[in-house]
Amino acid sequence: MKFLHTMIRVGDLDRSIQFYCDVLGMKLLRRKDYPDGKFTLAFVGYGDESSNAAIELTQNWGTDAYDLGNGFGHVALGVENIYTACDRIKSLGGKVSREPGPMKHGTTEIAFVEDPDGYKIELIQLKP
């Protein structure tokens, strides 16, 4: 088996693509409208889907917002320098909801940011 993608529903697809690509540095891998189903899918990620997992952004036409619920936790991204990453995200208008620092009861450095729809993304400092 192979991990392919995680799907999240978004209220404004262009705004979400801008966040994931411009703020988090991903690339738009593909995008397709499904007029009969009244939805659009866009896949973003850090590399080709043949060897990398992606995030599937789903916009259901006519739906501007979703209740995020309490079952979904977060998407996690490894970063080379968590402090620089958070500074960059803030400078591009992104929201850092938990500043970088050691996790509670541990030493791994983490931070949390939120995408435009409020989904949480954990940043984890990669070990050298």
Active-site residues, by number, are: 122
Who contacts 9 (Cβ-Cβ below 8 Å, separation ≥6)? 58, 59, 60, 63, 66, 117
> In terms of DSSP bridges, do strands 54-60 and 39-45 run parallel, antiparallel, or are they unpaired?
antiparallel
Strand order across the beta sheet in which 109-114 lies: 75-79, 120-125, 109-114, 95-102
Residue type (1 letter), 120? K
41: three-class secondary structure by DSSP: strand
109: three-class secondary structure by DSSP: strand
